[in-house]
């Protein structure tokens, strides 16, 4: 192995020791199973009738349902994530001249209450696409939604945070290819009010990792893009140290403490209104990669539908989804409004196209 200014790669283009392809698959299974367990726990608390129970099963991908595949279809979501991670793995193994980066970007537009939520997916996606083009990255990005358990809203509901994850790559000899260069180009530590990435939570709004062996292989981080929201974020305040410059930032730590099944169900409700094909977007060669993955997903879905037909599984008939989700909020004193979603959603009268 060769070292080159602190960023170095194994000869085969795929990191061996930490966060490998095998761990990527395990991570996907663990997160999808953990999130499904939370949703199922909430379903048991609601004690729904058989029709509603079957609807939960169909929304999570365990019974056939017409229309586009939804982001809440955890079975299809897992397969889609596997296809994407495999594509990234093949790219990393075949291209020793590429540097890979993983970015996490926060914007104040992503902070919302679970009672009156505004999911600005298209707004954040446009900002992510512009950021990738600005720093010269091809790749993939996801607008993920997680709960923040330690951010009180004064009785206005629990906090949901929509934020951007990016897996990008560019040639190793390209200009400004260090993590510090990318952060600077994206406006890190600028004091202007018009910079795109800000966070009133106090956390660092621009976090860039230049993937090297200690951080793991790119395929692991590709799987991380489509992990299920099985945990929440806990905002850890910075330590107050006199004379410290720049001012230390708060940290976002993963946690399951305070992450209730009814809050997971609220996120599941959002996912059930979004097509799976719109969850991940790409720029440059990343967009071409996604096209291949969607083709693989469509072929896999045809096989799944054929198995359902052989087993005699009946398709879930269309139902009043607004009333259905209102029933999931019973036994709760607060009033929960529908999600306002800026971006593609599942339509009542869609074309029937699955992917």
pLDDT tens for 37-79 read: 999 999 999 999 999 999 999 999 999 999 999 999 999 999 9
Task: Write out pLDDT tens, residues 136-194.
Answer: 999 999 999 999 998 776 667 899 999 999 999 999 999 889 999 999 999 876 655 55
Report, as an integer, the average pLDDT of 90-119.
94
What CA–CA distance (Å, rounded) separates 192 from 214? 35
Q: Which of 231-235, 309-313, 345-349 has the lowest mean pLDDT?
A: 345-349
Better-predicted residue by pLDDT, 120 or 330: 120
Each residue's pLDDT tens digit, 237-282: 877 654 554 556 788 899 999 899 999 999 999 999 999 999 999 9
CB 346 within 8 A of CB 274: yes
For position 28, what pLDDT does the model report?
94
- From the list 343, 306, 299, the residue with the least C-alpha distance to 76 is 299
Mean pLDDT over 68-93 rounds to: 96
- Residue 65, token pair as written in the block: 């349902």
Nearest to residue 92, comparing CAs of 6, 169, 17, 25?
169
Q: What is the average pLDDT score of the chain?
A: 89
Global pTM?
Answer: 0.90
pLDDT-based confidence at residue 335 (cuts at 50, 70, 90): confident
């Amino acid at each position: 192995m060769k070292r080159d200014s602190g960023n170095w790669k194994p000869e085969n283009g795929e990191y061996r020791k930490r966060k490998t392809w095998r761990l990527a698959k395990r991570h996907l299974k663990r997160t999808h199973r953990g999130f499904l367990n939370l949703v199922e726990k909430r379903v048991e608390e609601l004690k729904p009738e058989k029709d509603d129970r079957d609807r939960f099963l169909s929304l999570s991908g365990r019974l056939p349902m017409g229309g586009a595949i939804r982001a809440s279809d955890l079975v299809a979501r897992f397969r889609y994530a596997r296809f994407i991670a495999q594509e990234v793995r093949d790219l990393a193994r075949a291209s020793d001249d590429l540097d890979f980066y993983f970015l996490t970007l926060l914007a104040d537009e992503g902070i919302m209450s679970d009672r009156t939520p505004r999911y600005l997916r298209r707004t954040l996606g446009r900002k992510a696409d512009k950021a990738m083009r600005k720093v010269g990255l091809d790749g993939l990005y996801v607008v993920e939604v997680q709960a923040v358990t330690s951010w009180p809203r004064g009785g206005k509901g629990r906090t949901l945070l929509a934020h951007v994850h990016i897996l990008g790559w560019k040639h190793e000899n390209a200009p400004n290819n260090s993590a510090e260069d990318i952060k600077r180009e994206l406006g890190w530590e600028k004091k202007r009010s018009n910079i795109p990435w800000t966070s009133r939570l106090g956390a660092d709004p621009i976090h860039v990792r230049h993937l090297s062996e200690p951080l793991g292989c790119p395929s692991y981080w590709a799987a991380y893009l489509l992990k299920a929201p099985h945990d929440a974020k806990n905002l850890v305040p910075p330590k107050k140290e006199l004379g410290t410059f720049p001012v230390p930032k708060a940290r976002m730590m993963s946690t399951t403490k305070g992450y209730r099944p009814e809050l997971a169900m609220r996120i599941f409700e959002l996912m059930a209104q979004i097509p799976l094909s719109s969850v991940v977007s790409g720029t440059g060669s990343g967009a071409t990669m996604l096209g291949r993955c969607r083709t693989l997903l469509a072929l896999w879905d045809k096989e799944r539908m054929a198995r359902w037909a052989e087993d005699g599984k009946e398709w879930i008939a269309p139902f009043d989804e607004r009333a259905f989700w209102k029933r999931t909020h019973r036994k709760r004193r607060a009033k929960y409004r529908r999600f306002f979603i800026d971006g593609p959603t599942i339509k009542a009268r869609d074309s029937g196209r699955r992917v």
